[in-house]
Structure formats: structure tokens, C-alpha cells
Amino acid sequence: MLQLPKLSSSILKELKKGKNLLAFSAGSDSSALFFMLKALHVEFDIALVNYQTREQSLKEEEYAKILAKEFGKECFVFTCKLESKNFEHNARAKRYEFFEKIIKEHSYTNLLTAHHLNDKLEWFLMQLSRGAGAVELSGMSEIEENEHYKTLRPLLHVDKKEILNFLHVNNIKHFLDSSNNDKKYFRNKIREEFASSFCEQFSSGIKKSFQYLEKDKKVLLPKEIKREKELYILKREKDDLINIRGIDRVVKKLGILLSSAMRDEILKTKDCIISSKIAICFSIEKIYICPVVDVTMDKKFKEKCRVEKIPSKIRPYLYSIL
């Protein structure tokens, strides 16, 4: 393989030691990552979601199966049909539900996605247009811890130009998704009118800026001080902006994306249930976050929680896991 983009040492270490599942679409980015991993002698299998939205969807699925057979990979395919309303949101939810099912059933430790530098810049500009802080602007991380696996983004510091060059030089087959050019989607508008040309001209500086933002994000996020399965306990900071960032990060792991209204409710009440699924409670020094469960607790346990000052909404989940 020629013109192989350089991946970070931390990513290579994770790839070599883990069991990897590549989120594959047969598009330019995931096809490039497929052959980069192969060139680096990284073991992996692939998973593809066919939404049946385009004529070439079936051809993309067939290509994934051909590649898997040729190179000795497992190929997991999920086919679904979604309504056009809120398609992107629902597609992402279905996609990750499928990936996590495969990860659990086959004991994968890493989910690999082909997000790259241009994607990160697009997110930055989208958040900037909406009014966001440093943590939100920073966006995706190269290595992200989830409940039962890690999400690895090996190409996150590689720009699109390098990826396309790799595909061209090595004559790698891939498919182009025409919907990526439809400007009715906000991300596509940002890409076409701002991000692509900016990243092509200033990729070196953009990479450095995101490195600084990543370091800032670690400082700005509250520290997790304890965890029991899906019960998270954060240190409560004086600044509620830092608190809500930490909460946002945790509830995302638990499958909920916070809206602006949800954030406002959390900070206003300091004791609430979000989407009927997640309990969030503040004490003087801590923030408790866990799934909502319905269970009958004995009196002895209730009394112990009262003495330990465990918030009432947190007690049922804690009782269920002990």
C-alpha cells in the first residue's frame, strides 16, 4: 500500500491489542480505513447497515460481503427501512443499536469509525453557529470510552484530501453517496460552503487547534469519582457549566442525547428524571446519574441510604445492583 496516512501511536496500540469491529459503509472513508487497517496488519471484522434509501445500497452491501470473503473477515449486515422524518437521528440510533448488539454478542472491544479531520471541523462549525463552549466545539475524541467497548476513530487527525489520495494511488473501489451533496441537510451545507475549502488550505493549523481543544476539554470536564455498573457519581463543581458538561457526557453513554430544555431542567431542579429513563440528582458535593428502575426496597436498605445521604431517585437502581 502506497501513501499510507500516519496514525497516532495511541490508536495503533488500541488497535493491536483489541478485538475490532469496523463500521463499514463502502463509502470513501470506511473503504480507505479498511485497506489501511489491512496494510497495518490489524485484525478486524466489518458491520454494515443498509437503509435501502438509494439504488446503489444493495451494491454497497454486496461489495462489503465480497471484501469480507476475499480477506477473511466476518461481515454483519442489518437491513432496515426508516421514515424520512428525523431520518438522520433515527438512522444513527438504529446503526449504533445494531453495532452494540454485535459487539455484545461477539465480544468485540473496539468499534472503529472512519470519521476524519473534515468531519471534526464540520462539527466545530455547526456548534459554533449554534453558540457552544470549548467542550462542545471540540467534538469527537480519537479514543472514547463507552459502557462495554471503546470507540476508536483512527482517521480523526487525517484530512479528506489524504484519504482521497490514498484511494486514488491504490486504486481502491468505493461508492459515492449522492445524498452527501444535498444542502437541505445542515451538515452538507456547512461542508460544501465552508469546511472543505478551509480544511484543504489550513489542515495543519486545524490539527494543532483540535489538539489544544482536546487538552482543554479534559480540564473543563468534571472528574468521575465513582462508578458502579451504570451508576455514575461525579464530583460537583462550583460552576454549573462544568457540571452539565459532565452530565451530558454520562447520559450519552446511557443512550440519551440532552436537548437544551433538558439541560435547563437539570440545572434548575438539581433532582429530576430525563426521558423517563435517567435519574439525575445533585447533593452538596456529588452528582448521581443512573437508569430509572422500579423495585421494592427493604426498610434496612432505605435507612442505610438515608444515613449515607443517597438521593431517593438513585436508591432503586443501587438496590437492584447490590
Q: Give the span between the Cα atoms of 30 and 213, in whole angstroms.
A: 26
The answer to whether 64 touches 26, Cβ cutoff 8 Å, is yes
Maximum pairwise Cα distance, the chain: 70
User: Stretch 55-62: mean pLDDT, rounded?
Assistant: 93
Task: Specify the pLDDT at position 215.
Answer: 87
CA distances from 321 to 147, 199, 235, 291, 309 (A): 16, 48, 22, 11, 18
Domains of the chain: 9-214 (3.40.50.620), 224-321 (no CATH)
Q: Which cell goes with 163?
A: 484519504
Phi, then psi, of 192 in degrees rounded to 5:
-70, -40
Which residues, 6 or more positions from 117, have their beta carbon under 8 angstroms from its beta carbon? 155, 156, 157, 158, 159, 160, 199, 203, 206, 207, 210
CA dihedral 206, 208, 213, 216 (to 10 degrees): -170
The answer to whether 176 touches 28, Cβ cutoff 8 Å, is yes
Determine the 3-state secondary structure of 30 from DSSP. Answer: helix
Task: Specify the pLDDT at position 218.
Answer: 79
The answer to whether 106 touches 98, Cβ cutoff 8 Å, is no
The answer, as to whether pTM is greater than 0.75, is yes
Q: What is the pLDDT of residues 201-221, one digit of tens each?
A: 999 999 999 999 988 887 777
Q: What is the pLDDT of residues 149-202, one digit of tens each?
A: 999 999 999 999 999 999 999 999 999 987 777 777 888 999 999 999 999 999
